[in-house]
């Protein structure tokens, strides 16, 4: 017997709506999602760089006070 996770109502409605979407609309959704993810990745990268710069600055300040 295979057990599957039951879907909530929102997931079922989304699956039903996706089945009704034409291929072009699904392609547009995929493209939109890819763009959003690349924007998020760029933001995460810039935040990581800023964090590294702040850590370096803290290290320099601690080293300079000794």
Q: CB neighbours (10 Å) of residue 10?
A: 8
Q: Do residues 26 and 18 make contact, with C-beta atoms less than 8 angstroms apart?
A: yes
Residue 16 has pLDDT above 90, yes or no: no
Q: In this structure, are residues 43 and 51 in contact, taking their beta carbons and an 8 Å threshold?
A: no
- Pairwise pLDDT comparison (4 vs 60), residue with the higher score: 60
Mean pLDDT computed over every residue of the chain? 85
* pLDDT at 3 (0 to 100): 63
> In the predicted model, is pLDDT for residue 5 greater than 80?
no
d(CA 42, CA 52): 15
């Amino acid at each position: 017997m295979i057990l599957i996770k039951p879907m909530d109502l929102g997931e079922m409605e989304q699956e039903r709506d996706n089945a009704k979407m034409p291929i072009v609309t699904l392609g547009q959704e995929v493209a939109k999602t890819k763009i959003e993810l690349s924007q998020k990745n760029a933001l995460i990268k810039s935040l990581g760089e800023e964090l590294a710069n702040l850590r370096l600055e803290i290290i320099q300040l601690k080293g300079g006070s000794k």
